């Protein structure tokens, strides 16, 4: 029988941010051989939603994608490093900033490739907007 003292520790996760790392495969490329914009947007939506869920402590839906700028192409074989953070909270909605870096894994170099702001709404089981609780 395992005693409590040998149980792995439970660590607190970040409350209002999220990080992700992905690789770009051939299926993710456009005709120019660089990452398809919709692929990058879906990764941004995923990372941003995780930051929003952590912040709202419940389900969220994407309400708006705004001000997405593609600064640099992301190349085949690059890693895609995403950083998402809640930057503003309303009654039921949140604005989440997402920065996407293209990374050469072998050298560890990262460059800001895409950035954007997403709006998420915290929803109840019926999909209706629900108030976001107080933050610590």
DSSP 69-111: EE-S--BTT-EEEEEEEEEEE-SSEEEEEEEEEEEETTTTEEE
The residue range among 8-16, 28-36, 89-97, 98-106 that interacts with ligand COA, by the rule CB under 6 A, is: 89-97
The residue range among 14-22, 33-41, 98-106, 117-125 that interacts with ligand COA, by the rule CB under 6 A, is: 117-125
Should residue 91 be labelled a site residue for ligand COA when binding is judged by CB under 6 A? Answer: yes
Q: How far is the CB of 131 from ligand COA (least distance, A)?
A: 8
Q: Residue 30 and residue 70: Cα distance in Å, rounded?
A: 14
Among 60, 46, 40, smallest CA distance to 121 is for: 60
Should residue 61 be labelled a site residue for ligand COA when binding is judged by CB under 6 A? Answer: yes
Q: How far is the CB of 128 from ligand COA (least distance, A)?
A: 7
């Amino acid at each position: 029988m395992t005693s409590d003292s040998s149980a792995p520790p439970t660590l607190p996760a970040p409350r209002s941010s999220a990080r992700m790392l992905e690789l770009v495969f051939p299926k993710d490329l456009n005709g120019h051989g660089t990452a398809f914009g919709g692929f990058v947007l879906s990764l941004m939506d995923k990372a941003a939603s995780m930051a929003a869920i952590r912040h709202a402590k419940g389900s969220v839906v994407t309400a708006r994608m705004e001000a997405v700028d593609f600064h640099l192409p992301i190349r085949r074989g690059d890693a895609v490093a995403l950083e998402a953070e809640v930057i503003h909270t309303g009654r039921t909605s949140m604005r989440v900033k997402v920065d996407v870096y293209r990374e050469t894994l072998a050298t560890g170099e990262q460059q800001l490739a895409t950035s954007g702001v997403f709006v998420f709404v915290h929803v109840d089981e019926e999909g209706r907007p629900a108030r976001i609780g107080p933050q610590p």
